[in-house]
Each structure stands twice: as C-alpha cells, then as structure tokens.
Amino acid sequence: MMKWVFGIMIILSVIFGISTGRMDKVSNAALEEGAKAIELFLYLLGGMCVWGGIMRIADKSGLTGKLSSLFKPIAKLIFKNLDFNGKAFKAISMNVAANLLGLGNAATPLGIEAMHELEKEDRTKDSASDNMIVFTVLNTASITLIPTTVASLRLKHGSLQPFDILPCVWITSLLSVGIGLILALVLNKIRRKK
Amino acid sequence: MRFSDFIIPCIIGAVLIFGLIKDVDVFNEFIEGAKENLKTGISILPAIIALMTAVGMFKASGAFDILSYAVSPLASFFHFPAECIPLALVRPISGSGALAVYESILNSTHPDSFAGRVASVMLGSTETTFYTIAVYFGSTKIKKIRHTLFCALMADLTGFIISAVTICFFF
C-alpha cells in the first residue's frame, strides 16, 4: 500500500504544483528533502543507538522482564498468539512505557526493535502479521498522558491555563486508540491471512 | 526547568544503578545494544528519504490549501472549526508541518479560544501516522501492510472529531 501513498502524493504534487504555479517550490523540495531526511536520520540514529544501549543493560539486568509482566494483563487482550516471554513483547512494553511518558524520541527506536522481533517471531514473508498491525496502530494513535510540546507552545502564546485541556486530550487519545485497535482486531479476524 | 527534563536522565540513571547492582558489564552491553540499533537504523534510512521527499513536494505544491477548501463543507457540518482543517490534513503526514500549522493557529486566534483549544487537543492526542508506518514497516521486509493504514487513519479521524466534541463539552 505504501507504493500507492508514495506514488499518489508525488503525482498530486506535480499536478497541484502546475495548477497553483508553485513548481519552483516543488522542484526545490524534490532536491532538498533528501538532504533534510539525512539530517533527521542522523539525529534519530544517535537516539536509537543510545536507547539501544540502555535497553540492552535494562534487559540483561532483568528490568525489562519486570516491566513487561506489568503490561501482560492488558496486552493479552490485544495481542493474539504472542510469546509473552519473548524479545518482541519486551520491546513492545518498553515502547508503550516510553509513549506514556511522552518520550517520542525514545519510543521510535524501541518500536522499530519490536517490529524486528515480531517479524522473526511471526515468521512473516511479505505481508504484515496481525500483531504487527495492532502494534503499529497502537503507535500511530499513541496514548498520551502529558502533551509537553503542546503545553509549552500554549504557554508561549499566552494561554492562562496551558494544562486545562488535559482531560480532553486523555478522552480523545483513549477513544482514537480504542477505535483504531477495535478496527484492527475486527479486520484481523475478518481478513484472515491466506 | 520542566518536570519532563527530569524523566530521561532519571530513567537512564536508574537503569545503570540497577545494572551495576546486578553485576552487568554496563559498558560492553551498551556498545552491543548500540551496534544492533545502528544496523537497524541504516535499514530504515531509504524509507525516511522516500517519504520525506514525497511529503516535502506535496506541501510545497500548495495541495493542502486546495484540499482544506474541498473538505470545509464537511467540517462545518460537524461544527469543526475551519482554522483547524489544515492541521487535520497535515497532522497524519508531517510532524514538523503540523507544528508549523499549530503555531500559526495560535498566532491568529488565542490558545484559550475554541479553535486554539481544539487544535491543542488534536496535536496532543495524535501522532504522525504516515511517518510512523513508513519507519516501522521500513525496518522490516514487509511489502503488504494490509489494513494498517486504514485503521490508523480512522483512529486519527476519530481523534479529530472527538477533540472538537470534548472541547464543546468541557468549556
């Protein structure tokens, strides 16, 4: 499906670029975004290495095992046929913990690791496994407890109570994650992998 | 100094203390872990370049302006503030783009206004869907993501509608 997303976005930007007369900007973007992507990547890679290292220490000392046993009861509801003592579940637990704390930069490397382990455990070929879908949807919807970036921007722009939106954020993110997960679980059941 | 500034150093400190107590070779294990993720990192780079190029071209073409004009009748039906439509369109695709749109909404309205609050909840309770999917699946050999994108976008849409509903309800 990513081939359609990628293709359609570029084709549309050429069509829109011609019709809005902004081809100069589209052309610049085509040439420069690759370099920007490398910049972002270096930043991300540094974080990935640091968290990979910290994770490994936490793993060897038995810390991640303890944390993942806390998540087990909830995880059993949404992940089917997952090895709850395996590496994939450990990485999933750490990713969820990082998301809850609002540490997006730490959550991404842990999430990538979880996908790698899921790929090994579910022995996927070229099609995503049920657990991979559930896990990715969990991350794209992301449960947030404290939206720190939003609060600091609100404060900067003169909000009297930057945190007064918290209950709305909680309800909204809970419902959106809920809908995403329910849809994923239902579709997993209906559209059995051949 | 913010509270969130304490979280990361304290977590790292706690992991190291626990590791040393359990007699783990913390330096060498760190190196091993970093090495593994370095390899993974290299494997996702092409996916990041592909997606960022497509998003960059899309943003530059002014496509968002045209699309937000196209969906505005639907939004007003749901009492969704018109100022927040561009944010809803950019949010799943680009994190930095969404932040820029959010700042412009806060500048043109007030953070404590209806549109300002809805925009805050939208940004605070959703993620950059396309980027997450591209990076997560880009690190694997998966070619068919099946219904991942559909479920993720429905979750985003739910989040956008509910953010306006909760703000109406609470304020």
Query: Do A169 and A102 belong together in one domain?
Result: yes
Enumerate long-range contacts of A71-80, CB under 8 Å, 24 or more apart.
A71/A96, A78/A134, A78/A138, A78/A181, A78/A185, A79/A131, A79/A134, A79/A135, A80/A130, A80/A131, A80/A188
Which residue positions in chain B have pLDDT lower than 70?
A: 1-4
Query: Do A122 and A169 belong together in one domain?
Result: yes
Residue showing tokens 């290299």:
B42
Q: B46 — contact with chain A (CB < 8 Å)? A: no
Residue A51 has pLDDT above 90, yes or no: no
* The predicted structure's pLDDT at residue A194: 47
| Å between A2 CA and nearest CA of chain B | 8
Amino acid at A4: W
Q: Note the pLDDT tens digit of each residue in A154-174.
A: 988 999 888 889 999 999 999
Boundary residue ending a domain (A61, A87, A107): A61
Domain count, chain A: 2
Residue whose C-alpha is closest to residue B20's, from A58, A96, A8, A148: A58
Query: Do A135 and A145 belong together in one domain?
Result: yes
Query: Do A12 and A102 belong together in one domain?
Result: no
Query: Do A44 and A126 belong together in one domain?
Result: no
Query: Do A180 and A101 belong together in one domain?
Result: yes
| Å between A86 CA and nearest CA of chain B | 17
Instruction: For residue A89, give its domain range.
Output: 63-194
Q: Note the pLDDT tens digit of each residue in A137-147.
A: 999 987 777 78
Q: Which residues of A touch B112 (CB under 8 A)?
A: 159-161
What is the C-alpha to C-alpha distance for residues A180 and B36, in angstroms, rounded to an integer? Answer: 31
Radius of gyration of chain A (CA): 20
Q: Note the pLDDT tens digit of each residue in B73-92.
A: 888 888 899 889 989 998 99
| Å between A73 CA and nearest CA of chain B | 23
What is the C-alpha to C-alpha distance for residues B118 and B101, in angstroms, rounded to an integer? Answer: 13
* The predicted structure's pLDDT at residue B160: 94
* The predicted structure's pLDDT at residue B111: 93
* The predicted structure's pLDDT at residue B77: 82
What is the C-alpha to C-alpha distance for residues A172 and A148, in angstroms, rounded to an integer? Answer: 16
Q: Note the pLDDT tens digit of each residue in B29-51.
A: 999 989 988 888 888 888 888 88
Residue whose C-alpha is closest to residue A63's, from A39, A26, A90, A87: A90
Query: Do A90 and A149 belong together in one domain?
Result: yes
Question: Please, which pLDDT band fits residue A2 given cuts at 50, 70 and 90?
Answer: confident
Nearest Cβ partner of B111 from A106, A125, A159? A159
Query: Do A145 and A189 belong together in one domain?
Result: yes
Q: Note the pLDDT tens digit of each residue in A18-46.
A: 998 999 999 999 999 999 889 878 877 88
Residue whose C-alpha is closest to residue B122's, from B150, B157, B163, B92: B163
Nearest Cβ partner of A133 from B34, B148, B158? B148
What is the C-alpha to C-alpha distance for residues A101 and A114, in angstroms, rounded to an integer? Answer: 18
Question: Please, which pLDDT band fits residue A48 given cuts at 50, 70 and 90?
Answer: confident
Question: For residues A137-161, b (16+ Cβ closer than 10 Å) or e, as one string?
Answer: bbbbbbbbebbbbbbebbeebebee
Please tell me what DSSP assigns to residue B144: B
Residue that wins the pLDDT comparison between A59 and B149: B149
Q: Note the pLDDT tens digit of each residue in A77-133.
A: 999 889 998 889 988 998 988 887 767 777 888 898 899 899 999 888 889 999 999
Question: Please, which pLDDT band fits residue A184 given cuts at 50, 70 and 90?
Answer: very high
Question: How many A-B residue pairs are in contact by the CB < 8 A criterion?
Answer: 354
Query: Do A169 and A137 belong together in one domain?
Result: yes
